[in-house]
Amino acid sequence: MILQTRNFGTYTFHPHAVYSSIGHAVNSANAPPKGWDYVVVTTKTLPDIVDDSATIAPVVRDSITCIVLIQNGFGVEAPHRARFPRNPIISGVTVISAELISPGTVRQNRWTRVSFGPYSDGLGSVPEAQDLSRRGAECVDELVRIFTELGKLRDAESYDEVGLQTVRWHKICINAAFNPSSILAGGIGNADMALDLELRGHIKGCMEEVFAAAPAVLGRPLPDKLAKPDQILVSTERNKGSKPSMLLDWESGKPLELEVILGNPVRMAREKGYDMSRLHTLYALLRSAQSKRAEEKAKEKQRVRSKL
């Protein structure tokens, strides 16, 4: 794979090994004899379609393998904690502007940052959770060392458990505001939305709603060091030519990460007594649009079959 990056220039990445499936990774002759120390999940998070925890189960050693979830959304860890109650889990948040510009070629446009933190129950509040959080923190330290010392990546950082959940919630500002709006606005990119007066006001309102809900969901407000809505909008103005991943999925007919980017945050806030009306509206409209599209695809397949 050819990588065109701002940080490391253009180079070709050659993986040490490639496996055709998880089963192949388990049974291959060059698989680690004692099993995998880390299993990194970077897929789209689609809990309404697939259970990622069940998918990775064959390569997870009970209580030993560290599960690393570098995925969008909020509440993505819960299914893995339920299936693997004794394994350390690392929750990861990445912010990167990159795109696949041709088969086998990825271009980095602007930002790159990855944040890691342990996950036990989201709060590390009971003795059993505290032990899992401690073990997860040790894995976080090792993973950050690998990224920074060996990978020479400057923007790899570690947080405690609640701190990482705070970072996850903050990223909802971007994903839940820009991604669905880009589809409903007719298929335009983030920079164009930030420069449109009416859409800018809408996006800012969505982000302010996420900030306002933080104390209810997390038990504390978002820290001052995290970018505010106005700062995010100014920064986004410079990210011209890039489309949100959700818009790209919509344009290619793929399922959307609605549940973890919109559904879970709306439901979690509601459980804590806070109504995220703007995000709820986006969720309801896109959920209906996605369902309608799926119905139309199913009908089209049935018509094709009936003609054969």
How high is the pLDDT of residue 126?
63
> What contacts 256, CB < 8 A, 6 or more positions away?
246, 249, 250, 286, 290
Domains of the chain, start order: 2-159 (3.40.50.720), 164-307 (1.10.1040.10)
How high is the pLDDT of residue 206?
97
DSSP 257-289: -HIIIIIHHHHHHHHTT---HHHHHHHHHHHHH
Three-state SS string over 6-69 comes to CCCEEEECCCCCCCCCHHHHHHCCCCCCCCCCEEEECCCCCCCCCCHHHHHHHHCCCCCCEEEE
Crossing angle of the two packed helices 264-271 and 161-184, in degrees rounded to 10: 120
How high is the pLDDT of residue 33?
85
The number of residues making up the chain comes to 308
* pLDDT tens digits in sequence order for the chain, 308 residues long: 899 988 789 999 998 889 999 999 988 988 888 889 999 999 999 999 999 999 999 999 998 999 999 999 999 999 999 999 999 999 999 987 788 889 999 998 777 789 999 998 766 666 767 888 889 999 999 999 999 999 888 889 999 998 999 999 999 999 999 999 999 999 999 999 999 999 999 999 999 999 999 999 998 899 998 999 999 999 899 877 778 889 999 999 999 999 999 999 999 999 999 999 999 999 999 999 999 999 998 888 888 888 77
Contact 253, 65 (CB under 8 A): no
pTM for the model stands at 0.88
How high is the pLDDT of residue 123?
66
